[in-house]
Structure 1
């Protein structure tokens, strides 16, 4: 458990250094690059914070028992960061479509973050009520957003060439991998937890009760058994996800 947490913190430090290196040395120019840089900066910092103070929202599980590990505080930061990342994804497709001269795809690109912004409402519902089924809905909406992204990137790849096509194809692979993971690991895990909660008679909280509970209650645990299942998604979230966010800064603008 401690080794995993140390690894998260090391990755967080690396990510901050990578973002600063891009800020200092990468040829960041144009509206797209500056927007990506700002959005990525938020995502990098929030992921670093969450790596230092890991938590599992519905279980109220924390590694460090401090107010900075507050479920409510962490979820608020995560919401902001995930919306930033979602807009980066839409911006990337918009950017590639602009290079390919495809205005219809540019417009369609903004549906990508829309899926993910709506997902935040379901996420908050699950966090406040302790109902895992809406967490499964949230993950499904992320999968839907990435699926739509893959479709649009496929259209771009089919109609372009050179580096634009290469980036689009790479994005398709990444999006398809994410969708496969979410539908095979995350959604089944949350559905299983929902069924287990129903079986033991779990009483769901009202939203106001859940808000107070999420602000104050924390279950401290350093047991790997308690963290193992969620470490499977937390680790790539704080590593591969952040690297993708930083990499989008470096995609050439117009």
Structure 2
């Protein structure tokens, strides 16, 4: 059985590695959607709260849904914004649609981290973690502005700055989680340590692969005397122009980050829902010193944890 799509005199068949890559993205996204529905069913049926066992779990599931389904759409219809390239000739492949979906999804993803960090900071009395919860959403909103600037003007420098801000935001998250390590024992401390390691690998990828790639593209355009679009000119361009290409060379620079983004990052979003649903169990993993200092505050946080809404 062969797979073939016709678009602007190009075709994509199973002999093309892009077909296998697209098929893998689609499969992973389908599984991610199934996991979200499974989590929704399980957490909805738990006692306590309007939805699930933990107060605010409904909001967490909603934020996760925006990220899971947003990434799924971008997996089904891959595109590269600045280059205006895509795999399928459909208006859903337009940059303005894809970038808008990505903006909402990414803000919701970082909001999940804020919703997780805030009650943990209150539970342990960790001001560093509390401050991180309030800072990361505004940081990502700024990053999204640079992303849109890059997309509208076709200036890769905006992408480099955007991803640098993502690195700063998750460096802050990593510091916040490190601050929590001495406050917990047992499996919670192990989970925190594993998350910090995962963030460290993410930061390494950003600073050694992603940001240098965009800086290299920016320098190449400048060296060749390339012209950047005016933002208003770019707005019309992102609404009307998308170029279908099945040339592996055109996609080579996008495959690595897209593959990680639409798999590991989505798994992190789903995992945050699971962690949040277990927050009632977290106090029993607090160290004795932490319990002695923050026992009254811990009870209040568990019964009704405040949810940061900055940027939402």
TM above 0.5, one fold? yes
Residue in structure 1 matched with residue 202 of structure 2 by the alignment:
178
Q: CA deviation at 1:104?
A: 5.3
Q: How does 1:1-254 map to 2 (within 5 A)?
A: 1-26=18-43, 27=46, 28-102=52-126, 105-251=129-275, 252-253=278-279, 254=302
- Structure 1: how far apart are the matches of 2:55 and 2:230? 43
Q: Is the 8 A contact 2:132 2:172 kept in 1?
A: no
Q: CA deviation at 1:23?
A: 0.7
Deviations 1:107-159 (A, max 9, x none): 43221222111100000000000000111000000000000111111111123
Q: CA deviation at 1:172?
A: 0.9
Give the number of the structure with larger relative contact order, counting CA–CA contacts within 8 Å between residues 6 or more apart. 1
- Structure 1: how far apart are the matches of 2:168 and 2:89? 35
Q: CA deviation at 1:186?
A: 0.5
- Structure 1: how far apart are the matches of 2:127 and 2:210? 34
- Report the aligned-residue RMSD: 1.4
Question: Secondary structure of the residue that 2:55 maps to in structure 1?
Answer: helix
Q: Is the 8 A contact 1:39 1:85 kept in 2?
A: yes
Alpha-carbon spacing, 1:140–1:219, altered in 2? closer, same or farther (3 Å):
same
- Structure 2: how far apart are the matches of 1:23 and 1:240? 20
- Structure 1: how far apart are the matches of 2:92 and 2:197? 36
Q: Is the 8 A contact 1:130 1:205 kept in 2?
A: yes
Q: CA deviation at 1:175?
A: 1.3
Q: Which has the larger radius of gyration?
A: 2
- Structure 2: how far apart are the matches of 1:104 and 1:59? 40
* Higher helix fraction (1 or 2): 1
Q: Is the 8 A contact 1:61 1:218 kept in 2?
A: yes
Q: CA deviation at 1:200?
A: 1.6
Q: CA deviation at 1:103?
A: 5.1
Runs of at least 5 residues in structure 2 that lack an aligned partner in the other structure: 1-17, 47-51, 280-301, 303-312
Runs of at least 5 residues in structure 1 that lack an aligned partner in the other structure: none
